[in-house]
A and B are shown apart, each in its own frame.
Chain A
Amino acid sequence: MRRLALVSVALISACSAGPAPSEIVPRTAGAPQPAGASTVTSAPSSTTGPAPSCDATASLRPGALPAAGQMPAGSTMERILKRGRLIAGVDQNSYLMGFRNSFTGELEGFDVDVARQITKAVFGDEKKVQFKVVTSAERIPMLQRGEVDLVVRTMTITCDRLKDVEFSSVYYQAGQRVLVRRNSGIAGVDGLKDRKVCVAAGSTSLNNVVSRVKTTVSVPNWTDCLVMLQQGQTDAISTDDTILAGLAAQDPYTEVVGARFTEEPYGVGIPKGQEDLVRFVNGVLERMRADGTWGAIYRRWLNTLGPAPAPPVARYRD
């Protein structure tokens, strides 16, 4: 009897198996990306041809600087003086160069101080400046639309850009390097061939990097790159050492590696045709080199890059 019961139980369980135990399947959520992130496969079309050759860093020779508050009649500077403020395009995301002090809410950095020095030369008061935050890609369009008087924003002087805007003499000589996580084993730009690299859209760094690496991701701001690096969505960031130093200062687990593989001379961007303003700004830069202001600003912001070098020597095409 007992055996019969066992057999029937075995039979019943054999032909009426219950459903498989349920499982909790997590909804896979892809890692969030910075708004506006996109993968770049080739350099922007406007720069694919051979770069136009020119003597890019030779600017216009300054005359004697007019006294603050007394700009020559009819000049661009007089128009700015009459308006009562200078409108400068800067960055608020590049630590040490142009960034927002989160405690005071003010914009600060090397570029911001350069813009303040130019303001001081026009008004005699460095506070009469209105900062407009511009992204890398918006620098030239903003100058062309006349929305800013000048741009001081880690802007590299190139022959290509000289077709659209004017540049001052070189106020800082930077060069492109690579920022990686400390334990990544990447030693420089040559180690990036099969890696994913983040750069800001519209920067010269983008063109320098896109042919040397496997994947290039472009984002609106350099800090967006740091977010992607910290979240493991990119292996490296490659741009000017000034910007990288600012990024590295925000994350001790990163380091700048390799030698400079490009030369990035920074100039103040000025709308095309405003030669009087170019000469004026060059005059201000000459004075900053001569009276030690340049060195003071460097020491204030960029000491992490090493002791202050001699300011870049201005070259002029007259």
Chain B
Amino acid sequence: MVIDSQPRQALVRRVTGLARSTPGRLSLIAVVLVLASLASGSLATWSVNRQEQALQDLATRSEPLAHAAQEVYRSLQDADATAASAFLSGGLEPTQLRERYEADIAQAQAALSVATASSPDLTATLAAQLPVYTGLIETARTNNRQGFPVGAAYLREASGLMRTQLLPAAQELYRAETDRVARAQDEAGFPVAPVLVALAFVIGLVLTQRYLTRKTNRLLNIGLLVATSAAVVSLLWVTTVSVLVMRDVADSRTASAKVDVLAQARIATLTARGDETLTLVARGAGQAYEKSFVEVSQRLEGQLEQAKRLDDTEAVDQAMRHFRQWQQVHQRIREADDAGQYNDAVNLIDNPYFDSLDSDLVRAIGQARQDFSDEVAVARASLAGTVVGVLVLAVISAAGSTMGLWQRLKEYR
């Protein structure tokens, strides 16, 4: 350290000595301007690059993962409701219900393996308990096939496992993935620091221009003019593109909010369906399920209205209509069951409105996800070429400043 201090002091003396003479001062300014130009350029490049990364992450990772998590929840919920329906139907279970259950489990596994890659901790419970669940369902089926009421007890145990462990874990996973989407959207926000640095650089160039005019009495310096123009263009470019991206990202937030509401609505639909079925399975002892049906239906109605406010599409309208029809049929099911017409009630539950509502919601979710993907694509498109452009402009600025100051320096030789 002691040895080092000598040369360092010498350097400081040289620089201050240089700053005392005009040519020395000009050379110093040239060096500072070139460095500032390159620094501002690379800062802008870095920030644009980061935005691009965040957008790419949104389109190819976060959103697909959030969708996978939502699919895990939905397919598990549907598997449970379907298993209960198949049990209720009596006799041999209907083939289409069995197929639906199998498709749900396959879908849950597939979605789970996608989600596991990014959140192994959150999927651990699901991975451990899903085989236990399917095992219980098969035991229930086997006993049911032999006419043993213990089959219903296995079904209840499976359903309890689903409600107390699997679904909460899936819910947690979904929350984690949607938070990740929100974070990626935040990262694509306005690059404040790079824009301020670019602005400071432009001001620096203008001040240099004024200094030279005062010292040399020449109005224009072509080199510095070119450098200033390039810096201003770069500043405007980055600012404009960032504003555009911000607007698109804001739109994509609306789209993800819509996907979220619709996804919640779909889950509520399936929960209500499960409750409706289990009320009949419990045969008079199902007040808790009916209470849950009423609560979930109210929530579902609110979610559908919210989706309608966010974006009034035809699919959402259809969903609302089918929801109301379903509620009316449910009323009749309850009346029949309460009046002792159990078989009528079981026949009524086999109506098309639930399936229609579900497919409406699938359609609406598909549209909202497409909107999201479109917004992100537009944002990415507006960033195209920015990195190269900003770099080229930074080099032009640096070259312009050097040339401009070199011309003046030559006059002192």
Cβ–Cβ contact B149 & A92, under 8 A:
yes
Q: Is A174 an interface residue (CB 8 A)?
A: no
Q: Is A224 an interface residue (CB 8 A)?
A: yes
Q: Is B147 an interface residue (CB 8 A)?
A: yes
Which A residues are in CB contact (< 8 Å) with B148?
95, 102, 250
Question: Looking at the complex, which one of B90, B149, B342 makes contact with A250 (CB distance below 8 Å)?
Answer: B149
Q: Is A29 an interface residue (CB 8 A)?
A: yes
Cβ–Cβ contact A104 & B283, under 8 A:
no
Cβ–Cβ contact A34 & B156, under 8 A:
yes
Cβ–Cβ contact A105 & B90, under 8 A:
yes
Q: Is A304 an interface residue (CB 8 A)?
A: no
Cβ–Cβ contact B150 & A35, under 8 A:
no
Cβ–Cβ contact B346 & A223, under 8 A:
no
From known contacts A85-B340, A105-B346, infer whether A92 and B156 are also in contact, taking CB-CB under 8 Å.
Answer: no
Q: Is A122 an interface residue (CB 8 A)?
A: no
From known contacts A104-B91, A132-B283, infer whether A224 and B128 are also in contact, taking CB-CB under 8 Å.
Answer: no
Residue interface bits B332-369, CB-to-A below 8 A is 1, else 0: 00000001101000100000000000000000000000
Q: Which of A209-227 contact B (CB under 8 A)?
A: 221, 223-224, 226-227
Cβ–Cβ contact A226 & B150, under 8 A:
yes
Cβ–Cβ contact B132 & A32, under 8 A:
yes
Q: Is B154 an interface residue (CB 8 A)?
A: yes
Q: Is B213 an interface residue (CB 8 A)?
A: no
Cβ–Cβ contact B160 & A29, under 8 A:
no
From known contacts A92-B149, A95-B149, A221-B153, infer whether A35 and B160 are also in contact, taking CB-CB under 8 Å.
Answer: yes
Contacting chain B: which of A39-47, A133-141, A183-191, A277-285? A133-141
From known contacts A32-B160, A34-B157, A134-B284, infer whether A27 and B125 are also in contact, taking CB-CB under 8 Å.
Answer: yes
Q: Is A303 an interface residue (CB 8 A)?
A: no
Q: Is A298 an interface residue (CB 8 A)?
A: no
Cβ–Cβ contact A93 & B153, under 8 A:
yes
Q: Give the 6 A-B residue pairs with the shortest CB-CB distance, closest first.
A: A105-B90, A130-B340, A132-B284, A35-B160, A223-B153, A133-B283
Chain B positions within 8 Å of A, measured between CB atoms, are 87-91, 124-125, 127-129, 132, 136, 143-154, 156-161, 163-165, 282-285, 339-340, 342, 346
How far is B144's CA from A224's CA once the two chains are assembled, in angstroms?
Answer: 14
Which B residues are in CB contact (< 8 Å) with A247?
150
From known contacts A92-B149, A130-B340, infer whether A29 and B156 are also in contact, taking CB-CB under 8 Å.
Answer: no
From known contacts A132-B284, A133-B285, infer whether A94 and B149 are also in contact, taking CB-CB under 8 Å.
Answer: yes
Task: Supply 6 A–B pairs (Cβ within 8 Å), ascending by A.
Answer: A32-B132, A102-B87, A132-B285, A223-B153, A230-B150, A251-B150
Which B residues are in CB contact (< 8 Å) with A132?
283-285
How far is B129's CA from A186's CA once the two chains are assembled, in angstroms?
Answer: 33
Which B residues are in CB contact (< 8 Å) with A131?
283-284, 342
Cβ–Cβ contact A223 & B161, under 8 A:
no
Q: Is A262 an interface residue (CB 8 A)?
A: no
Which A residues are in CB contact (< 8 Å) with B89?
105
Chain A positions within 8 Å of B, measured between CB atoms, are 26-29, 32-36, 85, 87, 89, 92-95, 99-105, 107, 130-135, 138, 221, 223-224, 226-227, 230, 247, 250-251
Cβ–Cβ contact B129 & A29, under 8 A:
yes
Which B residues are in CB contact (< 8 Å) with A138?
285
Which B residues are in CB contact (< 8 Å) with A34?
153, 156-157, 160
Q: Which among B151, B153, B161 has the highest number of chain A CB atoms within 10 Å?
A: B153
Cβ–Cβ contact B132 & A102, under 8 A:
no
How far is B160's CA from A162's CA once the two chains are assembled, in angstroms?
Answer: 35
Closest to A36 in B: B160
Closest to B164 in A: A35
How far is B164's CA from A100's CA once the two chains are assembled, in angstroms?
Answer: 26
Which A residues are in CB contact (< 8 Å) with B153?
34, 93, 221, 223-224, 226-227
Which B residues are in CB contact (< 8 Å) with A36?
160
Q: Which among B150, B151, B154, B284 has the highest number of chain A CB atoms within 10 Å?
A: B150
How far is B149's CA from A134's CA once the two chains are assembled, in angstroms?
Answer: 15
How far is B157's CA from A92's CA once the two chains are assembled, in angstroms?
Answer: 16
Question: Looking at the complex, which one of A27, A35, A251 makes contact with B124 (CB distance below 8 Å)?
Answer: A27
Cβ–Cβ contact B157 & A224, under 8 A:
yes
Which B residues are in CB contact (< 8 Å) with A102?
87, 90-91, 144-145, 147-149, 151
Cβ–Cβ contact B156 & A27, under 8 A:
no
How far is B152's CA from A52's CA once the two chains are assembled, in angstroms?
Answer: 37
Which A residues are in CB contact (< 8 Å) with B125?
27, 29
Cβ–Cβ contact A105 & B143, under 8 A:
no
Closest to A35 in B: B160
From known contacts A29-B128, A87-B340, infer whether A133 and B284 are also in contact, taking CB-CB under 8 Å.
Answer: yes
Which A residues are in CB contact (< 8 Å) with B154?
227
Measured between C-beta atoms, what is the minimum distance from A78 to chain B in Å? 18
Which B residues are in CB contact (< 8 Å) with A85?
340
How far is B284's CA from A87's CA once the two chains are assembled, in angstroms?
Answer: 11
How far is B165's CA from A148's CA once the two chains are assembled, in angstroms?
Answer: 35
How far is B150's CA from A99's CA once the two chains are assembled, in angstroms?
Answer: 10
Which B residues are in CB contact (< 8 Å) with A133?
282-285
From known contacts A27-B127, A138-B285, infer whether A223 and B152 are also in contact, taking CB-CB under 8 Å.
Answer: yes
How far is B153's CA from A105's CA once the two chains are assembled, in angstroms?
Answer: 16
From known contacts A29-B128, A130-B342, infer whether A92 and B283 are also in contact, taking CB-CB under 8 Å.
Answer: yes
Closest to B341 in A: A130
Q: A35-B159, A93-B149, A95-B149 are in contact. List 13 more A-B contacts (CB 8 A).
A: A29-B129, A32-B165, A35-B156, A89-B284, A93-B153, A100-B149, A102-B90, A102-B149, A104-B90, A107-B283, A221-B153, A227-B157, A250-B149
Cβ–Cβ contact A99 & B340, under 8 A:
no
How far is B132's CA from A104's CA once the two chains are assembled, in angstroms?
Answer: 29
